[in-house]
Amino acid sequence: RGLGRQGKGIQEARFVGVPGSPGAAVGRAVVMLPPADLEVVPDKTVDDIDAELKLFQNALEGVREDMRKLSAKLATQLRPEERALFDVYLMMLEDAALGGEVIEVIKTGQWAQGALRQVVGEHVNRFELMDDDYLRERASDVKDLGRRLLAYLQEARSQSLVYADNTILVSEELTPAMLGEVPEGKLAGLVSVLGSGNSHVAILARAMGIPTVMGLVDLPYSKVDGIEMIVDGYKGEVFTNPSEVLRKQYSDVVEEERQLAQGLDALRELPCVTPDGHRMPLWVNTGLLADVARAQQRGAEGVGLYRTEVPFMINQRFPSEKEQLAIYREQLAAFHPLPVTMRTLDIGGDKALSYFPIKEENPFLGWRGIRVTLDHPEIFLVQTRAMLKASEGLNNLRILLPMISGIHELEEALHLIHRAWGEVRDEGTDVPMPPVGVMVEIPAAVYQTRELARQVDFLSVGSNDLTQYLLAVDRNNPRVADLYDYLHPAVLQALNTVVRDAHGEGKPVSICGEMAGDPAAAILLMAMGFDSLSMNATNLPKVKWMLRQVNMSKAKELLVEALSHDNPQVIHSSLQLALKNLGLARMIGPGANKSL
């Protein structure tokens, strides 16, 4: 596929995945590995062999030292013959054994990590073929040793890793934590072999405005480190070793977008109001600290969804109440007096905490969101206490509950929030009870909108999960990505029902899924009667631009038409045609969003 050894092919090659975040980028690939996963270490030739040898010697020394310490620490708990295992490890590190073999491979020009993978792999294969149970078990010792050595090598590497301007970060499975590794301003594009446009890392990428391609299953990612790459986040394509012509073409797109974004900046101070006078409040979704500044630059009128799991994911352990308080205070203060809707911890599914592993066959139908925190009320109480304390004197907090599937969960959560409120007041913090809302993102909640609405102050539709659950399409699976469609008639019907029933109970309803940030879909949502739209900061100006051109009366016509079709494709094309006829195609062309 145009990639020679080490990917230094001269030929242009095209790889097709799915769109993750719109935009185009031209840059150089940096392959990032998950910490100490030996199997995915790429091959790489190096010129400075001595430097690699030195790195490896240091890693050997580090592991030896760890082994000695571990052995000494366990001296009182293990019998001498059990402690002999550590001697075996130390022996394996010797020049005459594994250590020596790695050095030989490095001398052929392979980098230390690649040489280690090769040698460990050979040893493991040999052990695993053995009949003897004891010897077969040794395979895991070798693997363990390999991981320990790799951890040292990667530590050394990440310290010396230089990210050039226009870095394109490539990984087998991008994680939210990886996004934080590249210094601000250097990251131009993202490429992930696994995952789809609805994965959380893609949502973060859109929030950061970084062109992203997901589900690039054919990319030999371990071979692309250091090569030139084009990321087309609109079409979901990546080009390696692009020709001069193609590079020029994409550089022009990048420049055009920069100018478009600049033009939209002018909208910042203008209200989001249709020509016939309908006000549509535009709120923002946040998670990363960087979102705060971006949201303010773009004139957001509040935070409709603060994903509290993001700071949890970046951490190495559960943040304490005090640490959470500081993080939440920062959010609340930054937007004050505008309201900030903080969602309680929504982990599970594809949002894992390294320090709280959940292993399930069906994670999206498993222990997720409110289910986890109701089973661990201590986590829920600490979090809500921190939120309440953080809001003292600001009083702009709203609390939002994720993954509610029925009344009992809501009642239990409300009970805990009241308890937390009582506690912090007893401790002398003077805060009013904040408005509490539920997310409607499970089909069961759609049919219970009225019952739920009676017990809360507001509702917020999570169209990302609602689409996934209504259509039974895994939001992370690239194979079914084309079936995932928030303009599907069933989704539109459900949304319409939720708005009608929420308003029937006199409660406001907003929507905070990615759909709200799609300028064309936003027209339909406004027509349905949503009281606010909450979206990533990147798309906010585009949505504002669109709604400032479309009369509410026209939006209602478009909605009636969309609801009359039974075929998602027809809904897409008729909406597209209507906008084209209104002269509004600019915001829905390549770049605006993936829905059209």
- Alpha carbon of residue 360 to chain centroid: 20
Beta carbon of residue 447, minimum distance to Mg ion (angstroms, whole number):
18
Stretch that binds ligand PEP, among 54-62, 241-249, 448-456, 458-466 (CB under 6 A): 458-466
Read out DSSP for 417-430?
Answer: HHHHHHHHHHTT--
Rounded distance between C-alpha atoms, residue 148 and residue 321, angstroms? 33
The verdict on 487 binding ligand PEP (CB under 6 A) reads no
The verdict on 463 binding ligand PEP (CB under 6 A) reads yes
Q: Can you point out the beta strands (E) in 225-307? A: 228-232, 237-240, 282-286, 303-307
Rounded alpha-carbon distances, angstroms, from residue 596 to 137, 176, 272, 574: 54, 27, 22, 10
The verdict on 465 binding Mg ion (CB under 5 A) reads yes
The verdict on 17 binding Mg ion (CB under 5 A) reads no
Binding track over 501-520 against ligand PEP, x by CB under 6 A = -----------xx-------
- CB-nearer residue toward ligand PEP: 441 or 485: 441
- CB-nearer residue toward ligand PEP: 203 or 332: 203
Helix (H, G, I), strand (E, B) or coil at 266: coil
Strand 303-307 versus strand 24-31 pairing type: unpaired
Which of the listed partners (Mg ion, ligand PEP, none) does 219 bind, with a CB threshold of 5 to 8 Å by partner kind?
Answer: none
Beta carbon of residue 484, minimum distance to Mg ion (angstroms, whole number):
14
Beta carbon of residue 304, minimum distance to ligand PEP (angstroms, whole number):
9
Long-range CB contact pairs, 329-332, < 8 A, 24+: 329/390, 330/289, 330/292, 331/286, 331/292, 331/303, 331/306, 331/390, 332/390, 332/391, 332/394, 332/396, 332/397
Strand 24-31 versus strand 228-232 pairing type: antiparallel
Stretch that binds Mg ion, among 10-18, 155-163, 465-473, 525-533 (CB under 5 A): 465-473
Stretch that binds ligand PEP, among 40-48, 265-273, 411-419, 461-469 (CB under 6 A): 461-469
Which of the listed partners (ligand PEP, Mg ion, none) does 110 bind, with a CB threshold of 5 to 8 Å by partner kind?
Answer: none
Beta carbon of residue 349, minimum distance to ligand PEP (angstroms, whole number):
7
- Residue 415 appears among annotated catalytic residues: no
3-state helix, strand, coil in the chain (%, to 5): 50, 15, 35
Selection from 342, 345, 437, 457 nearest residue 397 by Cα: 342
- CB-nearer residue toward ligand PEP: 301 or 465: 465
With contacts defined by CB under 6 A, how many residues of the chain interact with ligand PEP?
Answer: 11
Beta carbon of residue 386, minimum distance to ligand PEP (angstroms, whole number):
20
- CB-nearer residue toward Mg ion: 152 or 380: 380
Angle at alpha carbon of residue 56, lines to 53 and 60, rounded to 5°? 135
Angle at alpha carbon of residue 5, lines to 153 and 7, rounded to 5°? 75
Long-range CB contact pairs, 499-505, < 8 A, 24+: 499/528, 499/529, 499/530, 500/529, 501/449, 501/450, 501/453, 502/449, 502/453, 502/459, 503/529, 504/450, 504/453, 505/449, 505/450, 505/453, 505/454
Beta carbon of residue 175, minimum distance to Mg ion (angstroms, whole number):
18
The verdict on 441 binding ligand PEP (CB under 6 A) reads yes
- CB-nearer residue toward ligand PEP: 397 or 404: 404
Ranges within 376-435 binding ligand PEP (CB under 6 A): none
Question: Which ranges constitute the DSSP H helices of 40-132?
Answer: 49-73, 80-92, 98-107, 112-128
Selection from 135, 136, 40, 146 nearest residue 98 by Cα: 146
Stretch that binds Mg ion, among 199-207, 279-287, 381-389, 462-470 (CB under 5 A): 462-470
Binding track over 422-441 against Mg ion, x by CB under 5 A = -------------------x
The verdict on 307 binding ligand PEP (CB under 6 A) reads yes
- Residue 278 appears among annotated catalytic residues: no
Rounded distance between C-alpha atoms, residue 363 and residue 335, angstroms? 34
Of 123, 272, 488, 512, catalytic:
512
- CB-nearer residue toward ligand PEP: 222 or 449: 449
- CB-nearer residue toward Mg ion: 301 or 441: 441
Helix (H, G, I), strand (E, B) or coil at 455: helix
- The first and second tokens of residue 219, run together, are 């990319």
Residue nearest to ligand PEP (CB): 462
Binding track over 144-183 against ligand PEP, x by CB under 6 A = ----------------------------------------
Rounded distance between C-alpha atoms, residue 302 and residue 289, angstroms? 15
Angle at alpha carbon of residue 49, lines to 151 and 5, rounded to 5°? 85
Beta carbon of residue 201, minimum distance to ligand PEP (angstroms, whole number):
11
- CB-nearer residue toward ligand PEP: 154 or 464: 464
Contacting residue, 101, 225, 465, 501, with ligand PEP by CB under 6 A: 465
- CB-nearer residue toward Mg ion: 441 or 518: 441
Q: Looking up tokens 């903080």, which residue turns up?
A: 342
Binding track over 258-277 against ligand PEP, x by CB under 6 A = --------------------
Selection from 202, 500, 518, 463 nearest residue 351 by Cα: 202
Rounded distance between C-alpha atoms, residue 290 and residue 268, angstroms? 18
The verdict on 448 binding ligand PEP (CB under 6 A) reads no
Beta carbon of residue 384, minimum distance to ligand PEP (angstroms, whole number):
18
Contacting residue, 150, 295, 305, 492, with ligand PEP by CB under 6 A: 305
Of 123, 200, 272, 488, catalytic:
200
Ranges within 198-217 binding ligand PEP (CB under 6 A): 203
The verdict on 462 binding Mg ion (CB under 5 A) reads yes
Selection from 370, 368, 375 nearest residue 349 by Cα: 368
- The first and second tokens of residue 55, run together, are 């790195």
Q: For residue 337, say if its preceding peptide bond is cis, omega within 30 degrees of 0.
A: yes
- The first and second tokens of residue 200, run together, are 């959380």
Q: Count other C-beta atoms under 10 Å from residue 553's C-beta.
A: 12
Which of the listed partners (ligand PEP, Mg ion, none) does 513 bind, with a CB threshold of 5 to 8 Å by partner kind?
Answer: ligand PEP
Stretch that binds Mg ion, among 13-21, 39-47, 104-112, 463-471 (CB under 5 A): 463-471
| C-beta separation of 230 from 24 below 8 A | yes
Stretch that binds ligand PEP, among 74-82, 120-128, 460-468, 555-563 (CB under 6 A): 460-468
Phi, psi (degrees; rounded to nearest 5) at 582: -85, 0
> Residues with catalytic annotation?
200, 512
Residues that bind ligand PEP (CB under 6 A): 203, 305, 307, 346, 441, 462-465, 512-513
What is the contact surface with Mg ion in residues (CB under 5 A)? Answer: 441, 462, 465
